[in-house]
Amino acid sequence: MSNDPHPVDAAASTEPAPMTGSVPRPKSTGLAKGDPVPGVPKVDPIMVIDNVTRRFGGLTAVDVEHLEIPRNAITALIGPNGAGKTTLFNLLCGFDKPNTGAWSYDGQNLAGIPAFKVARMGQVRTFQLTKALSLLTVLENMKLGAGGQKGERFWQSFLPATWRGQESANEEKARGLLARFKLDAKEKDFAASLSGGQRKLLEMARALMSDPNLVMLDEPMAGVNPALTQSLLDHILDLKDLGVTVLFVEHDMHMVRHIADWVVVMAEGRVVAEGPPATVMEDKAVIDAYLGSHQDVDLGVVTGRVSGELDTSAIALLEEIEADEAAAIADAEEEKK
């Protein structure tokens, strides 16, 4: 694992890296120094959180004693509704202020640093409810994600020659990312016209415009059509291949099981368990207490990422996905006429 904050430059180039498709990728292991208990130190943490609390009136929404996020790995933050996951995300990104506590990113103290500066340091996030600007086109939304734009400075804005080159490089990069996320055909459409799933993809693509080192995704799968599920999973795995660290909140346990290298379980504001998915998710107490019992359909089998027998509920889900796809194709053909 690397200490280099810019381990791989592929995300920074205007040429998007080729999609690695559904090639199964090994999980990162050996991330922690010791047994997987809450607060266990990591071998190479990108973020270290200490005694962070956030209270709303009498309610303590977040109360995290110690948590380290491993670098260049995919960490899932799970837990029941109201566990404090989004509130913790907001604190870590500078969107909200804690009552107590400190945390650092890449060894730099982040407490009290506003969100736009946090983003400039290479840490970006997406939202549980998508924040695409509806009345801008898809391409314009993408261009907003680029950092250090010269044309935004007052005097330089009058001198197009000073920013035109950068503008076209940004546009090229945006188009490359849109192609990777299969949104290129929509670049001139208003973001308002996209489906919920496409907006999630746009948010993720836009986050990549700033060449981040840490991407935080709040429920990337929520509201996404099952037909887009596989590509979303692949995009997240691709990020790791590019040397990016991913921290994501998700209720879809199949996704967590298949892509996460490390899982942190929150309940009532606290970290109650953490460890590799196989350990944490097999912990019956965690499953019963926090995840409910709807774990019968294995998404990895359905999407072909992992081999295995399709049980009846998996077959039903697969049929549903195929029907959705057929309907989407029929719609597209109808529109063409």
Ligand X SMILES: Nc1ncnc2c1ncn2[C@@H]1O[C@H](COP(=O)(O)OP(=O)(O)OP(=O)(O)O)[C@@H](O)[C@H]1O
Closest distance between Mg ion and the C-beta of residue 126, in Å?
A: 12
**For Mg ion, which is the closer residue by CB, 87 or 170?**
87
* Distance, CA of 163 to CA of 123 (rounded, Å): 25
CB-count burial class (<10 Å; 0-12, 13-18, 19+) for 238:
buried
Tell me if 82 contacts ligand X by CB under 6 A.
yes
**For ligand X, which is the closer residue by CB, 174 or 280?**
280
Q: Which stretch binds ligand X (CB under 6 A): 63-71, 78-86, 113-121, 254-262?
A: 78-86
Q: In what order do the strands lie in the sheet with 108-109?
A: 59-70, 45-56, 100-105, 108-109
Q: Which stretch binds ligand X (CB under 6 A): 19-27, 54-62, 97-105, 106-114?
A: 54-62
Question: Out of 72, 75, 86, 245, which residue is the one contacting ligand X (CB under 6 A)?
Answer: 86
Q: Which stretch binds ligand X (CB under 6 A): 66-74, 80-88, 148-156, 287-295?
A: 80-88
Tokens standing for residue 57: 């009136």
Asked if 40 and 31 count as a contact pair (C-beta separation under 8 A), the reply is no
**For ligand X, which is the closer residue by CB, 81 or 307?**
81
Tell me if 216 contacts ligand X by CB under 6 A.
no
Q: Which stretch binds ligand X (CB under 6 A): 28-36, 83-91, 184-192, 236-244?
A: 83-91
**For Mg ion, which is the closer residue by CB, 177 or 260?**
260
Helix (H, G, I), strand (E, B) or coil at 242: coil
Closest distance between ligand X and the C-beta of residue 284, in Å?
A: 21
Report how far Cα 119 is from the mean position of its chain's Cα atoms.
14
Tokens standing for residue 239: 């990020």
**For Mg ion, which is the closer residue by CB, 61 or 214?**
61
Tokens standing for residue 177: 């990312």
Closest distance between ligand X and the C-beta of residue 162, in Å?
A: 42
Tell me if 56 contacts ligand X by CB under 6 A.
yes
- The candidate with the shortest Cα–Cα distance to 226, out of 264, 245, 252, is 252
Tell me if 200 contacts ligand X by CB under 6 A.
no
81 binds, among Mg ion, ligand X, none (CB under 5 to 8 A by kind): ligand X
Tokens standing for residue 336: 């063409």
Tell me if 125 contacts ligand X by CB under 6 A.
no
Tell me if 292 contacts ligand X by CB under 6 A.
no
b/e sequence 31-65, b meaning 16+ C-beta within 10 Å: bbeeebebebebeebbbbbbebbbeeeeeebbbbe
* Distance, CA of 157 to CA of 150 (rounded, Å): 7
Asked if 123 and 216 count as a contact pair (C-beta separation under 8 A), the reply is yes
- How many Cβ atoms from other residues are within 10 Å of residue 273's Cβ? 22
Q: Which stretch binds ligand X (CB under 6 A): 30-38, 75-83, 141-149, 174-182?
A: 75-83
**For ligand X, which is the closer residue by CB, 41 or 82?**
82
Q: Which residues bind ligand X (CB under 6 A)?
A: 56, 59, 61, 79, 81-87, 128
